[in-house]
């Protein structure tokens, strides 16, 4: 704090200002703050009153209100006239509310209420009257939050669903390509988990710098991908032209009826790419291909568990 003449109360007030700034940003911001405060002082000793005046008159929002609160100053939303809590105008979608709250955890507690309102305004603007979606919160973090907080928050988003993403981390570490490798990467994720968790898509979106909406289009455009965790058994019935002519529709109805009757933990899917449908429809059961009597025997075993 060289080149500034300090009065004891002024130095303590400035330390409070620094204490309200997140650790990772403090060293980078401190020289600029000292330069601004020195200009405000004009060579005169810096008192607590001068620090408060500088914060109130010279700093931009939302930092101004947050730092005024740190100094015990009244802001526009004084305690006796508290502003209503920030609300999602159109409600929340998916895990967006939990993501919003997790984002705010990176803000010092004394500044949190101020930032809550500002960030909620941005989220409502993105939602345009509709529910606030997860992708809007992710976009806010990428657009507004500086590193290292951005990286910390995005990693937290990726694990909020309780999915262990260590396998995805390993796959990403071994994949140095760009968008041309995404399909292969998604296949590898599904092979590892049995489906593609939403948390995995969030992590891939961040690391590969690909829009989340782009990844969703990919996984919903290919029937080979699934976004929901499959049941204990996965049954895939061939629906090629040959299979359709040789009993595939009837077999699908039979399996659906058995699932409804037994309540078995089974995921039923269809695919035109299994093959083996020229005589009898091929059935992929837990990754192995069957047809005819062998397929029926496997199905009976599953539904009698």
pLDDT for position 189: 94
How would you classify residue 289: left for phi > 0, otherwise alpha for psi between -120 and 50, otherwise beta?
beta
Name the least confident of 79-93, 129-143, 269-283.
79-93
> What's 81's DSSP letter?
G
pLDDT for position 78: 40
Average pLDDT, the chain: 83
pLDDT for position 80: 40
Query: pLDDT tier at 74 (50, 70, 90 boundaries)?
Result: confident
Closest Cα to residue 121, out of 62, 73, 79, 80? 62
pLDDT for position 79: 40
Tokens of 151: 């990286």
**What backbone torsions phi and psi does residue 237 show, to the nearest 5 degrees?**
-100, 135
Using CB atoms within 10 Å of the CB of residue 164, give its burial: 0 to 12 exposed, 13 to 18 middle, 19+ buried. exposed
Is it the case that residue 281 has pLDDT exceeding 70? Answer: yes
Q: For 279-303, what is the mean pLDDT? A: 86
Name the least confident of 21-30, 204-213, 232-241.
21-30
Is it the case that residue 84 has pLDDT exceeding 60? Answer: no
Q: What does the alpha-carbon distance between residue 215 and residue 183 come to, in Å, rounded to a whole number?
A: 9
The pairing of beta strand 283-285 with beta strand 233-238? antiparallel
Query: pLDDT tier at 81 (50, 70, 90 boundaries)?
Result: very low
Selected residue with higher pLDDT from 10 and 21: 10
pLDDT for position 130: 93
Q: Provide the residue count of the chain.
A: 305
Using an 8 Å Cβ cutoff, are 169 and 202 in contact? no
Using an 8 Å Cβ cutoff, are 120 and 88 in contact? yes
Using an 8 Å Cβ cutoff, are 17 and 25 in contact? no
Q: For 234-240, what is the mean pLDDT? A: 88
């Amino acid at each position: 704090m060289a080149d500034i003449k300090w009065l004891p109360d002024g130095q303590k007030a400035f330390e409070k200002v620094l204490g309200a700034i997140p650790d990772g940003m403090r060293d980078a911001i401190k020289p600029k703050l000292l330069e601004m405060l020195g200009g405000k002082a004009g060579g005169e000793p810096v008192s607590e009153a001068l620090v408060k005046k500088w914060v109130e008159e010279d700093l931009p929002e939302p930092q101004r209100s947050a730092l005024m609160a740190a100094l015990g100053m009244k802001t526009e939303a004084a305690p006796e006239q508290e502003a209503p809590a920030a609300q999602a105008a159109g409600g929340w979608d998916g895990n967006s509310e939990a993501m919003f709250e997790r984002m705010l955890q990176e803000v010092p507690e004394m500044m949190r209420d101020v930032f809550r309102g500002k960030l909620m305004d941005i989220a409502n603007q993105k939602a345009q009257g509709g529910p606030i979606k997860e992708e809007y919160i992710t976009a806010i973090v990428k657009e507004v939050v500086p590193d290292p907080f951005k990286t910390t928050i995005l990693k937290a988003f990726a694990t909020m669903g309780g999915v262990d993403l260590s396998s995805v981390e390993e796959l990403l570490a071994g994949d140095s390509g760009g968008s041309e490798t995404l399909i292969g990467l998604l296949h590898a994720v599904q092979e590892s988990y049995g489906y593609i968790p939403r948390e995995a898509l969030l992590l891939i979106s961040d690391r590969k710098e690909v829009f989340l909406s782009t990844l969703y289009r990919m996984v919903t455009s290919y029937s080979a991908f699934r976004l929901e965790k499959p049941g204990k058994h996965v049954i895939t019935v061939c629906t090629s032209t040959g299979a359709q002519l040789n009993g595939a529709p009837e077999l699908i109805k039979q399996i659906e009826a058995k699932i409804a009757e037994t309540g078995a933990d089974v995921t039923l899917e269809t695919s035109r790419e299994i093959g083996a449908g020229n005589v009898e429809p091929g059935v992929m059961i837990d990754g192995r291909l069957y047809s005819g009597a062998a397929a029926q025997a496997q199905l009976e075993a599953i539904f009698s568990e």
